[in-house]
Structures are given as C-alpha cells and as structure tokens.
Structure 1
C-alpha cells in the first residue's frame, strides 16, 4: 500500500513472495560475487608482487651466477697456466713420464722448441678463457654446468698437485746434489802442482798425483768447498794431518799436510765453513794444501768442479 499524501488516492501493490525470494537470492549472489572478486583482486595483487620479487631474485641470482662463471673461468685459466709451466719445467729437467701421464705439454722436439718461445710465454700470462655460454639456459641448468666445470677443475688440480709434488722432490734432490759439489776453492794461494802424472819431488820417479797442491802461508784457512759430513780427522802417513769430508752422491774430498784441524769425525759442515789450517805435516816439501776430489773412490781433477 502506498499513500502519497492525505488527499491522494491510496494505491495498493501486491509483490509475490517468489519475487521477494528471487530478489534476495540475487542480492546474495551479487554480494558473494563482489566478495569473491575483491578477494581474487587482492590475490592477483599479491601474486603480481610475488612474481615481481621472484623476477628480481632471479635476476640477482643470474647476476651472481655470472660472477661465479667468471671466477670459474679465471680459475681454469690459472690452472692452465700452472700446467703449462709444469710442462716447461719437465721439458727443461727431462722429467716427462708418459706412463704416469704427469707431463701435460708436447713431448716431441718441435713441440719442445715451440713451448719455450716468447709468444707462448706471453700467452702463459695473458690467456683467459671466455665465461661459460649460458644464454637461453635456466638457472638450474647453469648451476649444473658450473658444477660439471668445477668437477673437471678439481680433477685437474689433483693431477697437477701430484705432478708439482714430483717436481718439488726433483728440485730438492737437485739442490742437495748442487750443495754436494765441491764448487769453490778450498784455500787461497797458488797452485804449485796439478792433477795428473808428475815427477815425485822425493824420488824423481814419475807417478800419479791424485790431487792439486795449493801453496800458502802456514795457518792459511782451509774451507769446505761443499756441504757434507767429516768422516776422518787425524794423522795419516804421507798425508800428515788429514781431513776427509763425505759430500754424498759418492763425492769425497781430502785435505792433507794440515797444520791443524778444526773439525771432528761425524761433524756436519756447510760450504764455506773453516775446517782446517794449511801446514807442512807428513810427506811435504813446504807449506801447502794437498787437495783431492774422489767420486766413487776414483780421483778426479779438482778444478773441473770449481766454479769460481
């Protein structure tokens, strides 16, 4: 019923209950749709923000992966330079060992000659391989590729460690061998008798002189020409006061006619250590040092070992 005002005609309208129910249902549906739409809208906003964050994270991760790739590339270049240096050292020291596959560089004569040229020496310093080609690859694929490269580098590094250990042992032995060589003059003076056949100063007969005689004032210091161990210090007929040093590798040196000895048997000496003083003891015609070098018991010409 509708009453516009007190003087107007009263109008009546009848609304079916079914229409009311339909209207209520429509209202509820519309309300639900509005709620769902609002929820979905905010979900989309959240998903968009999350997607943006993931894109940013993915970009950052790719940037970091590029840095890792560059480090891997430089690591590979460093290892390659070490391997080339290893190869050169082996060629120079003749340490190539095909059975153990420790030599990395060329073993033929042309390769050996090319390996020590200036151009290759420049590449030894300058070579840096390009980063891994990962364009179009997913992050997981890039990580897998980097892991494979790292596994290869790890295996190469272990092999190179073994090779360098062998080189280290070789150079250690060479250092010991060089230290054992009687490479300096044992005393200051002048050589009055050389190594070889000569007339015996006492009998006049020709006989072998197994060393050299260095004349000097009595008391002139005698120095060890190489590292070694004193195996004798005492008096010996003919030699007079005598010192014998074993340098290893079959090398021994003898010092005769000494005024006095400053070392004892079993004592370690270094090249340049003062071991005795020149004298005139034993079968001698005047103050001098009789100096011998023996290799495996065989007298050698002492001057062929002297470098200074």
Structure 2
C-alpha cells in the first residue's frame, strides 16, 4: 500500500500559495496529543470538583463547630454567673445565721450537729436532675460542685429551721441584743485596724462610722438604761446605754442628746440627733458595741 500524503497550500505574503505536505504519521501524533490533553483536562476537572466538595464540607463543619462553641461558651458563662449568684446568696444566709447565733449565744456549728440532720426532712436534689456526659472531666467537676452546693444549701436550711425554733424559746434574749441599725447610712470606717484620718498612722477603731446628714435621728439598738449622756473628749456628744448580759452600746459625735442618765430606753427609741462634735472629720455617727467592757464588731450583732 502507498502512504497517503496530504498537501496543504499556505498563503505567504509576496510569494503566493506555497504547497506543504503532511504525512499520516504526523497527523497521528497530533491526534494523540489532542486526546492526551483532553483526558488530562477532564481528569483535572474531576479532581478540582472533588476538592471543591471537600472544601465545602470542611467549611460547613467548621461553621457548625463555631456555632456549637459559641452556644457552649454562652451556656458556660450563664452557668458561671448563676453559680456565682447562688454562692453569694449562700454566703448572705450564712452571715445572717452566724449573726443570729451570736445574738442567741449559740455555737453556729452546733446547730447542725447531733440528731439535727435526721430530724428535719429536707429532700435532696436527685442526681439525674441535670444530665452530664460521664466522660467529660469539666462536666464531672460541674456536677460535683453543684452537689456540694446543694449540700451546703441543705445545711443552711437546717440551720435556719433550728434557729427559728430556738428563737421562739429565746425571744426575750434576742430582743435584748443590739441587732438593729442605729441609723441607716453608708459605713465609712469599719471595726478593727485602720489608717487614722488624723495621723495617717494605723490604729484600732473600736466601732463603725456611719455617714449621716447632720440632725439624723439616732435610735437605740436594744432596750437599756442610759449610763452616760453628755460631752466626752474625742467622742464629742456621747450617749452610752447599758443592756442585759453585760452589753453596752455607745453613740458618738452627736449634735444633741435627747435622753438623760437613768432613763429607761426601748429598742428603736430615738435617743439623739447625729452631728459632728468631738474629734471628727465630718457629720457621721460613731457606733460601738462592748461586751464585758471589751469592744466587739457591731456588725456581728446587726441582722441586716
């Protein structure tokens, strides 16, 4: 057989038509190259399509993971805030119970010892009230913490119920304690060691200072008898009341005393007007509580 030869004519500038022969094997090479290029392009398209699908899946999964993380973060922050609120409430109840026990001359821990735990039926919180994955360490810590918090709440509830029962039997003794505020205001200086507003050195403050406007009524915090009503160096105008069980209260820096020595005073009775007399930096009430002639923190008695 004879090889078929194909002749093409090419137009060249200034030379007219020029013949060019193309042999069959040359065409076969061209067709082979075209097929390879087409197959490569097709394979590349399929590969890129698969990669695009994988990328879409990754983007979708990442979006879902971010959403889940945001929800978990919100839940965790809400739980943290709620737990903080519960802790603050428990501390408030504990402080109240301690003060009440002090006013009743009770050991706060003794209130929940002995048969108290079994005599008052307070239902416990079921363990499955909140479900957490057992394998999650954080969830286990949260569950253990909430269990401990629940136990603490039960103890405080028991303590309050026991105290309520004791109060009924010791009402007179409680009424004789300085358990109310002499006047409502902001405490500007606490009981204990402080920096003196005069010398700027540290000294011991025997009471609390309550910021008041001049002329604010000052009330007796417990029933008693007036043992001092007049001026005393440092204190300025001062009223001192003697109460039961060796307790005294003192009210200093007054503008005016409304009682006299020997008067019998009721709880809540107005005994003076607040002022700025004596060694004072501004209008306020200096309030002291003394037990057996020793100063104690008045806040241990005030049931706020």
TM-score (norm 2): 0.46
Greater radius of gyration (CA): 1
